[in-house]
Amino acid sequence: MLKILLPTIMLLPTALLSPQKFLWTNTTTHSLLIATISLHWLLPTYYPHKNLTQWTCTDQISSPLLVLTCWLLPLMILASQSHLQPEPPARKRIFITTLVTVQPLLLLAFSATELMLFYITFEATLIPTLILITRWGSQPERLSAGIYLLFYTLISSLPLLVTILYLHTHIGTLHLTMLKLSHSPLTNSWTDFLLSLALLMAFMVKAPLYGLHLWLPKAHVEAPIAGSMLLAALLLKLGGYGIMRLTLLIGPLSTHLHYPFLTLALWGALMTSSICLRQTDLKSLIAYSSVSHMGLVIAAGIIQTHWSFSGAMLLMISHGLTSSMLFCLANTTYERTHSRILLLTRGLHPSYPSYLPDDYQLTSQTQPYHQLPTQWQSQPSQPRYSTDLPPPSSSQEPQPYWLLHTPYSCYSQPSEEHYQPMSHPYKTQTHENTSWWPFTSFPYSFSSLNQKLSQEYP
């Protein structure tokens, strides 16, 4: 673990002391070297726990998330260069320092074997994320989004802290291995129920569970590109990782706690998929789709079987990669059109031919699509109770997300192909410039369209 933590900490003087001309080159190269070294965590070993110490270890649950954490930092630095181009050099260094600060905290959170260390690093990741949203957000609503994120996280984390102190008082240790071997001192069923609820609630908010997700679309919309990638790829995975870790400690969940969360997670996945059909903001659309996919992760963590944990891990890794890349594409669209409204960003395909294949490939990977990571996880996560029957094909398996994904695909592909890009949005429509005007075949005039949008988005 130290071979990754120490070079990561040394990224701080690299960002602060590098010459301005080589700032992005040095930090990106340094972080890419760390990401390459982190691949050794994926090597198979005979022992279930690798690099076991008093405070940290790696296993099959934490290793993929640790590698994802190391690989995301250079991607965030690369994606933020154009966004920070007008900033002075001092602010660029502070921005990179803030990004670097998140990585050691996430590495400790994903590898912690002591429950209090996990709680401290779990909460400490909130500070740099809040700085990214409130300082480098592009709109005044970033303060409101930061307040939502702060209070949702803190209010749900206080019961978790009380429960951790309660376990330490009655068991005498907070080491995860010892907690698995210890018998629970609880005898009252209601006490056991409240303990399980307090342990899970903080991770349900972080994942997030449907009904506790209101902070996520606000944070995604107001965050810069690096903040959106950090939220989607890693911070949401802290919730799923915490559920998978702590459900192993509290044993099989009681029926009173099992079915409500399972039902709400699956129902929320369908409802947020339906909400995506009415979204006009591109980043908000990706944020609600993240809630839908993480609902499946929550449901798999609550089921508590080997196949469900494997499926949840595959879905988290694939979602962490594809959602961050989708936010990069959304940021690319925003840099070219200065708008995230789908109605105003149509027509990019003639001037940006690679946008449509990239967008189609990434949206296909986030859906349960044949021969892609999420489809691989959908088959083993369903237990086979009969070995005599052949495995069903992809057309026989229920895929409600295909039905909800089809209208968006039908809308997005023609909108990207049939209109010319808006290169001069402030020109008035005249006879000379009708060749480039994007709304020549649109049923609204530009003035009526502005009036309609101002009514919907005051």
Cα–Cα distance measured from residue 377 to residue 233, given in angstroms and rounded to the nearest whole number: 18
What are the boundaries of each domain within the chain? 1-111, 149-383+398-423
pLDDT in the model for residue 442: 39
Percent of the chain with pLDDT over 70: 73
Residue for token digits 């995301």? 72
pLDDT in the model for residue 429: 42
pLDDT single digits (tens) 261-287: 899 999 999 999 999 988 889 899 999
Q: What's the gap between Cα 54 and its chain centre? A: 30
Which of 362, 400, 360 is CA-nearest to residue 378?
400
CA distances from 5 to 69, 77, 162, 188, 407 (A): 12, 18, 30, 43, 45
pLDDT in the model for residue 305: 86
pLDDT in the model for residue 382: 41
**One digit per residue, pLDDT tens: the chain, 458 residues?**
888 999 999 999 999 999 999 999 999 999 999 999 999 999 887 777 787 788 888 988 999 999 999 999 999 999 999 889 889 999 999 999 999 999 999 999 999 999 999 999 999 999 999 999 999 988 888 999 999 999 999 999 999 999 999 889 888 888 888 887 776 655 557 777 888 888 889 999 999 999 999 999 999 999 999 999 999 999 999 999 999 988 877 666 565 777 888 999 999 999 999 999 888 898 999 999 999 999 999 999 988 888 999 999 999 999 999 999 999 988 888 888 888 888 887 776 676 666 666 665 666 655 544 334 444 444 444 433 333 333 333 333 345 544 555 555 555 554 444 444 444 444 444 444 333 333 333 344 444 555 555 666 55
pLDDT in the model for residue 144: 93
pLDDT in the model for residue 335: 86
Cβ-contact 366, 382 below 8 angstroms: no
Terminus-to-terminus CA distance in the chain, angstroms? 51
114 φ, ψ (degrees, to nearest 5): -110, 130
**Cis amide bond preceding 373, omega within 30:** no
pLDDT single digits (tens) 280-320: 898 999 999 999 999 999 999 988 888 999 999 999 999 99
Residue for token digits 């690099």? 51
pLDDT in the model for residue 83: 87
Contacts of 315 by beta carbon, 8 Å cutoff, 6+ apart: 293, 296, 297, 300, 373, 374, 377
346: three-class secondary structure by DSSP? coil
